[in-house]
A and B are shown apart, each in its own frame.
Chain A
Amino acid sequence: AQTVTQSQPEMSVQEAETVTLSCTYDTSESDYYLFWYKQPPSRQMILVIRQEAYKQQNATENRFSVNFQKAAKSFSLKISDSQLGDAAMYFCAYKDEYGNKLVFGAGTILRVKS
C-alpha cells in the first residue's frame, strides 16, 4: 500500500521569507500524481499545486513550487515571499494512475511570523 510521510509536524517562517515543506512517499507504481493541499484553521481544504510523475519539470503556481525527485520519492513544497495568509496545515497527497483514493500525509503546520 502506498504511504505518504511528512516528517515536519510544524514549521515557522518569517513574513517575506522562503520555507520548504518536506514530503516522501512510498509506491511501486511508475505513474502517479502528487498534490499539496492547504487547510487554513477552520476553513476548507484547497489544492495548492499538483505534479504528474511522468513530467520531469517541476510544477509552479505563482509563489508555490515543488521539487520532485522521483528516484528519491521526494516531493517538497517551496513557498516564496511568505505571507500571513499562508499560515495553515499543509498536506501532501498521492493518487495512483488508476485514479483511486487520495492518500494523505499527517500534515505540517506552517506558522508565519510578522
Chain B
Amino acid sequence: DVKVTQSSRYLVKRTGEKVFLECVQDMDHENMFWYRQDPGLGLRLIYFSYDVKMKEKGDIPEGYSVSREKKERFSLILESASTNQTSMYLCASSPPGTSGGPTIRRIAKNIQYFGAGTRLSVL
C-alpha cells in the first residue's frame, strides 16, 4: 500500500512564525504536491515537485516555499505565517504520467495518493 505521511495532524501557530509542514512518501514516486483545502474552493495547488531539488509553482504559491532534498520528502514552508493561511494542508505523491514523442502530449494517467492532512490554525 502506498503511504503518504504528514508529520502533524493539527498545528497551532502564531502570526509571524515560520512553519514547516513535512510530508514523506514510501513509494519512490517522482511527483509530490502540496494543496490547501478550503470550504467552497476545493483543493488548490500551492507547489509541486517532479524530481529532487525541482519545484514548480502551483496556483497559489504566494507566502509559501518548498524544499525537496530527498525523493521521499517534500516540505512546505510558511516563511511568516498569517491568519489567512489557516487551512487544511494536504500532501500528495504520484508516479509520472505516460510520455510520448515530441509531437505527442504527455497523458497524465497518474493517480495522486494523499496524506491525511494537517489542519493549521494561525492565531
- Is this pair of chains taken from one and the same complex? no
Residue numbers of A with Cβ under 8 A of B are none
Residue numbers of B with Cβ under 8 A of A are none
